[in-house]
């Protein structure tokens, strides 16, 4: 079974004091290849996950593409499980995600998903949150995550590593 430290970079971010990295070590997977650098921090009972929009994240209107906001939200569900929940963000899957788009995201500003856990059971995590930029709420959301039993992940060695 792959350990979290074999999959994620989750140490302090020297460019952003008080924040930690939230990046997969394999940057060819979706998070790194599409989203770019992600950082996170705990804020009381909430988790803030930040991305830094680039030109590739814009739509034809020059605002952040809705799919980018949805991807940030989905990643934030698991970040929140790790940062303020049971500490085990994987393996898990999104069962449900309800999102309300309220404003266009400005591609020149960081985009933050601020998420809280409403309830966590042995197998389910219920969350809600907002995607924000300064005082603007870009999206509101709620979701349900299903925790899965530990298993080997494709592309990662299982068992003890060789020296």
Angle at 16 between CA 66 and CA 130, to 5 degrees: 30
Q: What is the CATH number of the domain that holds 70?
A: 3.10.129.10
Look at the chain and report how many structural domains it folds into. 1
Largest interatomic CA distance in the chain = 52
Q: Is residue 157 part of a domain?
A: no
Q: Is residue 106 part of a domain?
A: yes
| Residue in 17, 49, 34, 21 with CA at minimum distance from that of residue 7 | 21
pLDDT: is 21 or 159 the higher one? Answer: 21
Q: Is residue 137 part of a domain?
A: yes
What is the pLDDT confidence band of residue 23, given thresholds at 50, 70 and 90?
confident
pLDDT at 92: 86
pLDDT at 45: 96
pLDDT at 90: 64
Q: Is residue 161 part of a domain?
A: no
pLDDT at 75: 92
Q: What is the pLDDT of residues 37-92, one digit of tens each?
A: 999 999 999 999 999 999 999 999 999 999 999 999 999 998 999 899 876 666 78
Q: Is residue 62 part of a domain?
A: yes
**Alpha-carbon span 144 to 133, nearest angstrom:** 24
Q: Is residue 156 part of a domain?
A: no
pLDDT at 3: 46
Q: Which residues of 39-54 are buried (b: 16+ CB within 10 A; e: fewer)?
A: bbbeeeebbbbbbebe
Q: Is residue 55 part of a domain?
A: yes
pLDDT at 36: 87
Q: Is residue 83 part of a domain?
A: yes
- Least confidently predicted of 22-31, 33-42, 88-97, 106-115: 22-31
**Residue ranges making up the domain that contains 138:** 4-147
């Amino acid at each position: 079974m792959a350990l979290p430290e074999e999959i994620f970079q989750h140490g302090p971010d020297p460019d952003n004091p008080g924040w930690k990295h939230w990046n997969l070590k394999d940057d060819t997977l979706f998070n790194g290849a599409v989203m770019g650098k992600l950082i996170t921090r705990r804020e009381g009972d909430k988790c803030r996950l930040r991305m830094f929009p680039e030109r590739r994240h814009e739509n034809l209107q020059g605002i952040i593409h809705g799919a980018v906001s949805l991807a940030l939200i989905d990643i934030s569900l698991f970040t929140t499980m790790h940062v303020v929940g049971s500490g085990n963000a994987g393996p898990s899957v999104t069962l449900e995600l309800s999102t309300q788009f309220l404003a266009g995201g400005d591609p020149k500003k960081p985009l933050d998903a601020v998420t809280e856990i409403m309830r966590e059971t042995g197998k389910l995590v219920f969350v809600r949150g907002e995607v924000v930029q300064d005082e603007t709420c870009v999206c509101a959301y709620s979701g349900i995550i299903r925790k899965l039993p530990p298993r080997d992940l494709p592309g990662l060695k299982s068992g003890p590593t060789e020296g």
